[in-house]
Amino acid sequence: MKQVTYQNQRVLVLGLAKSGLAAAMLLHELGASVTVNDQKPLDENEEAKQLEKLGIRVVCGRHPLDLLDEPFDLLVKNPGIPYSNPIVAKAMEKGLPVVTEVELAYEICEAPFIGITGSNGKTTTTTLIYEMLQEGEKKPLIAGNIGTVACEVAKTAREDNWLVTELSSFQLMGVRTFRPRIAVLLNIFDAHLDYHGTKEAYAQAKGNLFKNQTANDYAVVNADDEWVRKIADLSNATKIWFSATRPLECGAYLKDALLYWNDEKIINVSEIALPGKHNLENILAAVSVAKLIGVDNEAIVRVLTTFTGVKHRLQYVSTINGRKFFNDSKATNILATQKALSAFHDQPVILLAGGLDRGNEFDDLIPYLHHVKAIVLFGQTAPKLERVAKEAGIETIYHVDNVEKAVPVAYEISQPGDIILLSPACASWDQYKTFEQRGDIFISAVHKLK
């Protein structure tokens, strides 16, 4: 860990959960005078109790604005707390720096960062990069949204490691000096508009990944995405393009069903184990990073011929009496579900969908529903999805209370050869704490059928 001190610094940590807890503990260790403020009452708040035992001041149960009457030097906020939150807004009015824990991780980390972001495919790409670097003996560590909080991993990282980090737009809005050696931007789609307000603001947040890079760093970017190209134009990093639609003079691309790096053939697409055409972009991005770091082709091929995906992202669960079950709970927006449906374009699908209503409609799903024979709906968005299903000509539509009840209904109306796919096209927060919890409940319900 780099020798960083926060001695005599007064820091307010807003919001706990995993990232707030890790940030508070790190700042305390670095000598800061830490105050933690969390909405959850103290008697229900195990993280706050844990911090109190360390002698850290906690204020729980509400977000009192008068906290900011105190002379804080820094506010570290949980990424999920919007900038419209009264305390955050007041802090910014006062000129108080507002960051997320990723900024702290960068400050203390001895290892170079690889930062991966995009509307879809972050987790798959992050995992692929980690696996390729691991296979190539490059000593990677993995952090961020995908698992362990970045500042926890950063504490143990050494100069010869690579910190492979999945990053959300929420996290990237709260960076000041963060500078990844390699930055990956996969795609930009209408997502999290309830948080960012506009697609332009959302894209700008993603672009923070590049803002401190120099020509000595790399930006691995999708040549097929117009918004990515716009954001990449603002980057000072050396650009490495990838494309799933056309050959490139340099970079990673597909040509005649072969995957190339520059003019060097890496693998035949038919040999890749990970299903779905949409995953080819993720693979191209991961290959680009691996080649930049010096991973040999044999190690890359070993990963691509064995890696079948990550949990909750088009995860194969089981086959029961000829019905194949897939868990795509991480499909929290329309684009992700479009890609999941495209992966099974020539097979009959029973779709399980629904969740948090963010105010959007689902008409963009209609062209992808031609092979969906039935749909089982749950959550706040069920009525909107029913309208879309009817417009797509789907006659078999069921409403259920939740994912657990959706599974037996889907099985009952299915036939051998059907794909039963959980791909909600919505966030989970109307019924579940996380998309992981939603996916785990789906998996459990499938196994109960046995």
Q: What is the CATH number of the domain that holds 64?
A: 3.40.50.720
130 and 198 belong to one structural domain: yes
Locus of tokens 């890496």: 266
- 124 labelled as ligand-binding? yes
Q: Is residue 170 part of a domain?
A: yes
Residue 264's beta-bridge partner residues?
A: 261
Domain limits for position 431: 315-449
In Å, how far from its chain's centre is CA 354? 19
C-alpha 125/C-alpha 2 separation (Å) is 28
pLDDT along the chain (450 residues), means of 10: 91 94 96 96 93 96 94 94 92 95 96 95 94 98 86 96 94 92 91 63 89 97 95 93 96 97 96 88 98 98 92 90 95 92 92 94 96 98 98 98 98 97 96 95 96
The reply to whether 262 and 321 lie within a common domain is no
121 labeled part of a ligand binding site: yes
147: annotated binding-site residue? Answer: no
Does residue 4 fall inside a structural domain? no
| Residue 439 assigned to a binding site | no
Are both 289 and 177 inside the same structural domain? yes
Per-residue model confidence (pLDDT) at position 275 = 80
Domain of residue 410, CATH code: 3.90.190.20
Do 279 and 329 lie in one domain? The reply is no
Q: Do 42 and 121 fall within a single domain?
A: no
Inter-residue contact 233 to 255 (CB < 8 Å): no
Say whether both 246 and 321 belong to one domain. no
Looking at residue 192, its pLDDT comes to: 55
For residues 313 and 213, give the distance between their C-alpha atoms in angstroms, rounded to a whole number.
Answer: 30
Q: Are 185 and 331 in the same domain? A: no
Residue 83 pLDDT:
87
281 lies in the same domain as 154:
yes
Identify whether 405 is part of a domain: yes
Residue 445 lies in a domain: yes
Residues 170 and 279 occupy one common structural domain: yes
CB atoms within 10 A of CB 92: 13
133 and 258 part of one domain = yes
Q: Are residues 140 and 272 in the same domain?
A: yes
Within-domain flag for 5: no
Query: What pLDDT does residue 194 have?
Result: 59
236 is in an annotated binding site: no
Counting the structural domains of the chain, the total is 3
Q: How far is CA 73 from the centre of its chain?
A: 30
Mark whether 281 and 331 lie in a shared domain. no
Question: Residue 298: what are its φ and ψ, rounded to 5°?
Answer: -60, -40
**Whole-number pLDDT of residue 236:** 96
**Is 262 annotated in some ligand binding site?**
no
The verdict on whether residue 37 carries a ligand-binding annotation is no
Structure tokens at 149: 């909080």
Of 257, 277, 304, which one is at a domain's C-terminal end? 304
